[in-house]
Amino acid sequence: MVEKIPLLDLRAEYAEIKESVDASIRRVVESARFILGDEVTNFEKDFAAFCRAEHAIGVGSGTDALYVALKTCGVEAGDEVITTPMTFIATSEAISLCGAKPVFVDIDPKTHNLDPNLIEAVITPKTKVILPVHIHGYPVDMDPILAIARRFNLYVIEDAAQAQGAEYKGRRVGTLADMACFSFYPGKNLGAYGDAGAITTNNAELAKKARLLRDHGRTSKYEHQVVSFNWRIDALQAAILHAKLPYLEGWNRRRHEIALTYNKLLKNSGAQLPVIDEDFGSVWHHYAINIPKRDDVQKKLKEKGIETGIHYPIPLHVQPAYQFLEYEAGDFPMSETVAETTLSLPMYPAMTEAQVQHVAEILLGVLSERASDE
Ligand SMILES: Cc1ncc(COP(=O)(O)O)c(C=O)c1O
């Protein structure tokens, strides 16, 4: 019988934490306090501490977090925001929803993260924010970006949707720039049981403004200082996330062990493997390798019971939704090559050593079969 290994296994995770999650859900339902209140405040306090940040503001999703953070930094119609085309579309959608223009720069193919060396060339008088994304949970090389931002007087917002707990040169993601945005989409390293997100910052003024914006611009129940909207986190999701938070550090450590094992077992596979570097403490939201003829490999792995993912198959500059920006295929060659060759292997904390080895053995088999066919 073929052993099936999923890309991630949320049911196994729930089995591990069922009691505390169930108790939290019951507590919220019995309290009948579903909007903001202690559940949200308590989660925000502990999530801020986890990030070693001074403030955390819970919002409805990672997409909401990006939008609220951009608005907090004053992004408006006509502004430009520099980001990567190798990300989930939420990053640029939030920019577009502000009426601003996403300006893409290419990536470093080794890390799949935006290449800081390419930023300065696209800065214009309209540029307001640099928005790097810690893709796959791998921290962006932030120091050169922060130096550019200081020189040009720009805000930097981290898209840390995939990177809860990641560390750059010993500093935790979420504290590296003016603001950071997290997603708690169910499959994230810390995932809700629905949509949820958060913003972190060490700047009290920005925190205050983000808090105002996420809740109808209100200063008291029926007093509204600015026109905003409802971007609140759900109290039920905050309680679930709070119950899961104490496990996150251990889960991230387990993901790191899995990545080390994959890197060891796949060393001679011919695939380009993720870089492991002390200064770039990834939390391995995805373990993404690069291989030519990726679709064929993915199909063969599927036949053998191994589920994989592609993050992401179409860079944003060539998405139909962004045709109006008038980018063309070939504009960001590194992103395009990565999109064609990237493949995410199964990665979740409940994976056993035997399962990691099984995935590696099957992949090595598929790759060597292919080499002998060529
Ligand atoms: C890099 C990145 N940014 C933003 C988001 C948006 O988060 P959400 O799905 O919680 O709105 C995601 C989620 O998939 C993401 O991976």
Q: pLDDT at position 371, please?
A: 77
CA of 62 to the centre of ligand 1 (A): 5
CA of 88 to the centre of ligand 1 (A): 6
Q: pLDDT at position 243, please?
A: 98
| Contact residues of ligand 1, CB 6 A cut-off | 61-63, 87-88, 90-91, 133, 159, 161-162, 183, 185, 195, 197
Atom of ligand 1 nearest to the CA of 162: 16
Which residue has a Cα nearest atom 12 of ligand 1?
Answer: 161
Query: Measured between alpha carbons, how far is 82 from 75 in angstroms, rounded to an integer?
Result: 12
Mean pLDDT by 10 residues, the chain (374 residues): 91 96 98 97 98 98 98 98 98 98 97 98 98 98 98 98 98 98 98 98 98 97 96 98 98 98 97 97 98 97 98 98 97 98 98 97 93 76
Query: Measured between alpha carbons, how far is 188 from 205 in angstroms, rounded to an integer?
Result: 29
- pTM of the predicted model over 0.85: yes
Query: Measured between alpha carbons, how far is 29 from 84 in angstroms, rounded to an integer?
Result: 41
Q: What angle (nearest 5°) sits at the alpha carbon of residue 87, between those of residues 85 and 93?
A: 80
Atom of ligand 1 nearest to the CA of 285: 16
Provide the residue ranges of all domains of the chain, joining segments of one domain with +: 10-242, 248-373
Query: What architecture does CATH give domain 248-373?
Result: Alpha-Beta Complex (3.90)
CB 182 within 8 Å of CB 64: no
Q: pLDDT at position 41, please?
A: 98
Query: What architecture does CATH give domain 10-242?
Result: 3-Layer(aba) Sandwich (3.40)
Atom of ligand 1 nearest to the CA of 197: 10
Which residue has a Cα nearest atom 7 of ligand 1?
Answer: 62
Mutational test site, ligand 1, from 184, 185, 344, max ligand atoms within 8 Å of CB: 185
Which residue has a Cα nearest atom 8 of ligand 1?
Answer: 62
CA of 358 to the centre of ligand 1 (A): 30
CA of 361 to the centre of ligand 1 (A): 32
CA of 161 to the centre of ligand 1 (A): 5
CA of 26 to the centre of ligand 1 (A): 28
**What DSSP assignment string belongs to 144-171?**
HHHHHHHHHT-EEEEE-TT-TT-EETTE
**What DSSP assignment string belongs to 89-100?**
THHHHHHHHTT-
